[in-house]
Structure 1
């Protein structure tokens, strides 16, 4: 009898552990990564027909599931058709998974704190009529939205590859679908050894890919609300207003900064025409929002461009989307908090809305978590490799922000360095989401108060 009760008790404990939504998120992504690693180690997955070493397989699977794009081997030549198919499926699972799980967590948080507002702004979804969405509707909406965007982008790319580049129909179809899925999910995986450098001056491919990246990075809550209220911006939720305004502002600033810094750099875009430089600068600015494609060689960029890219990669894009980073809403909220402190105001006001104190703490915690992870990882890589600070920091921020841009040192890092980046991609993908959600879900009223005492700040 005791022998039967033991496994039953063990399974009940596992079920209880998995019942927590945060544990479900982490366990789901770990399972996908381990399954992808096993499939990529099969000899059939490599073009050579030989088994891939565990580190390369694990790194690639993690990069795909976490929709990052960092690679140790060239995707288009090292992996077979089967291996590339596995990577594509992992990208789709990762992109859909993060949008779905983040949106469902938003619904759960909304129920916990009892706020009727838009997804992730007050954290419960509402239709134009004010009726809240349930988890099933969120999942269906995420899948439908993703597939529609990917199909539209793939169609444009397929036609372009067919007509302009004389690709065979089957090859054009494959290129279009692969890059469409990779772009909308902000993965940055490409089938060309130079990423998209050969298309740097092609406005159709560059702008189509950039558009898919932006839409995927906005997040399902924003896309859902814009589709219904795009003509009535005054009715947008605070989250949507923040995300759209910050995205537009950051894209504009980053385009100007990168284009200006690289204007005379002949190794990147210095030889392009004026419009070509603007196109390349805009494309890089979009990809620092956590996509990972590049149309100019990142390793040849100037140090000031790398530093600026670090900042934009750390910020990332929208919540409950396919992008990484600490998210633009976190960044904007910290700006509002600082502004309120400078003005000596007791409340933080954003667009005529009071930001709750617990949301302020969540934003500061997520930002501090990101800074700490990047600082520790950068120190570890600097102490165990011979690369300079600017390229190591770029690589670390790219991994944490699940961006995928690289100066080219990834494959040259020691094995422990590659494993560190693997962990960082996983932490960067799930860290901000799980930290923010767990803080919201675990809010507890204190039954007593301690006496106040001030410390000197600054």
Structure 2
């Protein structure tokens, strides 16, 4: 065996960097992904702090620059500054580039950077990209690769990520460009705003490039429908887009993950529309003055955007308390796995309901669409929900202590930060620097994913070679 001391050393800084990255990826792909994500936040914080990034050529305070960087990379949409007036052309370009980078996903992004450095997509890089589409690969034991993307298809998945993002944003840009021209914007400005809005819709960010946000387009249902289309496709997840693009003629052959995502997403959209109609139809500040058709459309828009889209045609603080709570629930659930949306993900909710149904019907196993779901997936789903709920609870307590704001407003903005939704009651812009840092950390925790963070902290799993005596505690 060769002595490591006499092993050939890298002949250039590039080779040394490549070998260092390869070594880190071998030890812990998830840690490498979080390291990449953290580095991106730091780089964008520095860039947003530069005078060239602001309209008045002043230095943005650290807490505002950091919060904006985290919100952009985490594709959240919350802001402590006026995004339409504070940033220069350079700053706005940073926003658009940042949300597209963040929308790709933590692990997929790390895989792409690994490809650039190592000049190949090896097994480790494939595992990293695949774990963004099927987090159960970080656990020991057999995994049904058909639930998401097979390892051999990861290269195609990465191509699909880039192509789908470009095509969908291009289509949304083409749809809304004439509508922005119609409100009197010059051609160049209309094109820029179209690109900006399409990027924010597909990445589920919700930033707006013009003063007043969506106010000029509140009654333009073509414009709002285009935004909903982009946000909906972005929230489905790249594995679902890949599966549909590859086999749209054979829905029966879609994987369980695709079927669960589509079914739960549609069910939540319909439930959201029904809740907003029932809770807001008589609210004069929101939908009370609208006719039946307008109320249904605006409720649909709210239902789509609360899943992580971040756009709103109404003042969120004008919603009834019951509607705020309903929105909290929709935001906390979020969108599909490996998507630009945040939250605990729709498949997590589906697994919990399937487990409850199996328990109520006396079945020992979870089943859906003719497939059996193993018990370790339920444990993973419970862990995700508990970690998310703990993050929201701790952040809410800290914000309540810092701001003394009403609980319902604090809870709303905290869940919006954790779920990277971007809707706000107006509280975020009024927080002191300490509260801004808390919300920034909440966004970061919500975006990097509970599964990724748990894998990074664990680094490796130990196998227990013995079993202790069984005893059943009383539950309920």
| TM-score (normalizing by structure 2) | 0.87
Note if 1:432 corresponds to 2:458. Answer: no
Q: Is 1:29 matched up with 2:33?
A: no
Structure 1 CA distance for aligned equivalents of residues 141 and 223 of structure 2? 44
Residue 291 of structure 1 deviates from its aligned partner by 1.5
User: Are 2:410 and 1:382 aligned?
Assistant: no
Cα–Cα, structure 1 residues 175 and 234, in superposed 2: closer, same or farther, change >3 Å? Answer: same
Distance apart, 1:444 and its partner CA: 5.2
Distance in 2, Cα, partners of 1:268 & 1:399: 23
CA contact (8 A) 1:381 1:392 kept: yes
**Matching residue of 1:315:** 333
Task: Describe the shift of the 1:341–1:444 C-alpha distance in structure 2 as closer, same or farther (beyond 3 A).
Answer: farther
- Match of residue 136, structure 1, among 155, 170, 187: 155
Q: Which residue of 2 aligns with 1:129?
A: none
- Which residue, 95, 100, 104 being the options, matches 2:130? 104
Counterpart of 1:147 in structure 2 is 166
CA shift in 2, pair 1:110/1:393, >3 Å: closer
| CA distance in structure 2 between the aligned counterparts of 1:103 and 1:212, rounded to whole angstroms | 23
Task: Describe how 1:248-287 pairs up with structure 2 within 5 A.
Answer: 248-287=266-305
Partners of 1:109 and 1:437 within 8 A in 2: no
Whether the 8 Å CA contact 2:149–2:239 is kept in 1: the answer is no
| Offset at residue 350 of structure 1 (A) | 1.9
Indicate the residue corresponding to 1:350 in structure 2.
Answer: 368
- Which of 375-384 and 176-185 deviates more? 375-384
3-state DSSP of counterpart to 1:354: strand
Contact 1:280 1:296 in 2 (8 A): no
8 Å CA contact retained: 1:110, 1:116: no
1:281 deviates by 1.1
Q: Distance in 2 between matches of 1:170 and 1:149?
A: 21
Quote the offset at 1:307 in angstroms.
0.3
Determine whether 1:91 maps to 2:110. Answer: no
Structure-2 separation of matches of 1:98 and 1:277 = 37
SS in 2 for 1:90: helix
1:161 paired with 2:161, answer: no
Residue number among 226, 230, 245 corresponding to 1:208 in the alignment: 226
| CA deviation after TM superposition for structure 1 residue 137, in Å | 2.4
- Give unpaired runs (5+ residues) of structure 2: 1-9, 11-15, 110-127
Matches of 1:404 and 1:72, distance apart in 2: 12
Answer yes or no: is 1:218 the counterpart of 2:236: yes
Unmatched tracts of structure 1, length 5 or more: 1-7, 126-131
1:433–1:67 distance in 2 versus 1, CA, 3 Å: farther
1:451 aligns with 2:451: no
Structure 1 residue matching 2:341: 3-state secondary structure:
coil
CA distance, structure 2, for counterparts of residue 444 and residue 352 of structure 1: 33
Q: Please tell me whether the aligned partners of residues 33 and 107 of structure 2 are also in contact (alpha carbons under 8 angstroms).
A: no
CA distance in 1, matches of 2:405, 2:293: 35
CA displacement at 1:360 relative to structure 2: 1.1
Aligned to 2:145: 117
* 1:401/1:231 CA distance change after superposition, 3 Å: same
Secondary structure of the residue aligned to 2:471 is coil
Deviations 1:343-398 (A, max 9, x none): 23221222221111211110110011011111111111112222111100001000
1:216 to partner: Cα distance: 0.4
Distance 1:431 1:108, change over 3 A: closer
Label 1:322 to 1:108 Cα distance change in 2 as closer, same or farther (>3 A).
closer
Total equivalences in the alignment? 442
Distance 1:217 1:395 in 2: 20
| Structure 2 counterparts to residues 328-339 of structure 1, below 5 A | 328-339=346-357
C-alpha deviation, 1:322, in angstroms: 0.3
Greater displacement, 418-427 / 432-441: 432-441
RMSD: 2.5
User: Residue 196 of structure 1: CA displacement?
Assistant: 1.4
Distance 1:98 1:202, change over 3 A: farther
TM-score, normalization: structure 1? 0.91
> How big is the shift at 1:166?
2.8
